[in-house]
A and B are shown apart, each in its own frame.
Chain A
Amino acid sequence: MANFTPVSAAVGGVLIGLSAVLLMLSTGRIAGISGVFSGLLNLRSEDKGWRIAFIAGLILAPVIAGLIGYGMAPPKLPLNWAVIIVAGLLVGFGTRLGGGCTSGHGICGIGRLSPRSIAATAIFMVTAIVTVAITRHVLGG
């Protein structure tokens, strides 16, 4: 567990929880990122303003952090483009079909003690852990 960073994880987690609660208290919306984003893709939906503002804030965070000297390193991704594309398609399709992702089900849904979100979180954790086990330890990586 050499990589374990409990203090920064706890501080970051509190901020994520605070963001979800403040968004609900102010606009009445769930801070589920897949839901916030997919609402922008539907041309007929009319409530785009708060969605654009939230995602703009999300993207501005590393920009501002960079200005004050805490720039974000570019994420390390697989070299294989096909893997990136398949993963993106699965994340997009799966979060729509399942009605949420790590934030919507994991933080907001479990935060409301919803059995549906507790089940979804348990399921995506298990399939993600199995996927990593196969790619890293069975196929080798």
Chain B
Amino acid sequence: MRIIPPLLCGLIFGAGLLISGMVQPTKVLGFLDIFGAWDPSLAVVMAAALAVSVPGFMLAGRRSRPWLAGKYFWPGKSGIDSPLVAGAALFGIGWGLVGLCPGPALESLATLSPGIIVFVVAMAAGMMAHDAWQQSRLTAQRERLLASATDG
């Protein structure tokens, strides 16, 4: 039973990307191409989505817990730090190169397009590379701490 709400949410999200046309890279690139034949549709999609999500999240914030879980998993970080800036900048370059972000890329797997499959595999590899890099940094940090403790 617990998988029904997320399944329906995925369907609604997918319908939104389909109806708005944002599942098509050409449509997204039309928005990003402000020096060409500019298509402001993506801005309307965001504005309409925010018109629902701003009051919706306020409502959720007033409730003590979600319907099907013990607590809300609100993101914990609040400051603007260098990983946020660098990560967003790199993501934007990738998004601009092809016109695909994670939602439309995963949804387009339904078309079995070879290009989409390659993109999603590369995206997964990029995510795993990030996590492995973070893990190795943590390990190195711990080893340095241990080394300095024994030296001292």
Measured CA separation A98–B53 after assembly (Å): 21
B51 and chain A: residue at smallest CB distance: A17
CB atoms of A28 and B110 under 8 A apart:
no
Residue pair A12, B18 in contact (C-beta under 8 Å): yes
- Report chain A residues within 8 Å CB of B24: 73, 75-76
Q: Are B116 and A83 in contact (CB under 8 A)?
A: no
Size bin of chain A's contact surface:
35 or more
Asked whether, in the complex, the Cβ of B65 is within 8 Å of the Cβ of A28, the reply is yes
Judge if B149 is at the interface, Cβ distance under 8 Å.
no
Interface positions, chain A 56-70, Cβ under 8 Å from B, are 56-65, 70
Given contacts A9-B21, A76-B25, A112-B57, contact A15 B12 (CB under 8 A): yes
Inter-chain contacts of A78 with B (CB < 8 A): 97-98
A contacts with B: majority SS: helix
A14 touches B48 (CB 8 A): yes
Smallest CB–CB gap between B27 and chain A, Å?
8
Interface residues on chain B, number (Cβ under 8 Å) = 115
Contact status of A101 and B101, CB under 8 A, knowing A9-B45, A92-B125? yes
Would B122 and A107 count as touching, CB distance under 8 A? no
Q: Are B96's CB and A24's CB within 8 A? A: no
- Across the two chains, which residue of chain B brings its CB closest to A130? B96
Interface residue ranges of B93-144 to A (CB < 8 Å):
93-98, 100-111, 113, 115-116, 118-131
Interface string of A84-122 (1 = CB under 8 A from B): 111111111111111101110111111111111001110
Residue in A62, A114, A128 with the greatest tally of chain B CB atoms within 10 Å = A128
Return B30 CB to nearest CB of chain A, in Å. 5
Residues of A within 8 A of B68 (CB): 26-28
Query: Beta-carbon contacts of B16-39 to A below 8 Å, as 1s and 0s?
Result: 111111111111011011111111
* 26 A-B pairs whose Cβ atoms sit less than 8 Å apart in the complex: A12-B45, A14-B49, A14-B52, A16-B20, A21-B56, A25-B56, A59-B107, A61-B107, A74-B113, A75-B113, A77-B116, A77-B119, A81-B115, A88-B118, A89-B126, A91-B100, A91-B123, A92-B128, A94-B88, A97-B90, A107-B50, A108-B57, A112-B57, A127-B88, A129-B32, A132-B96
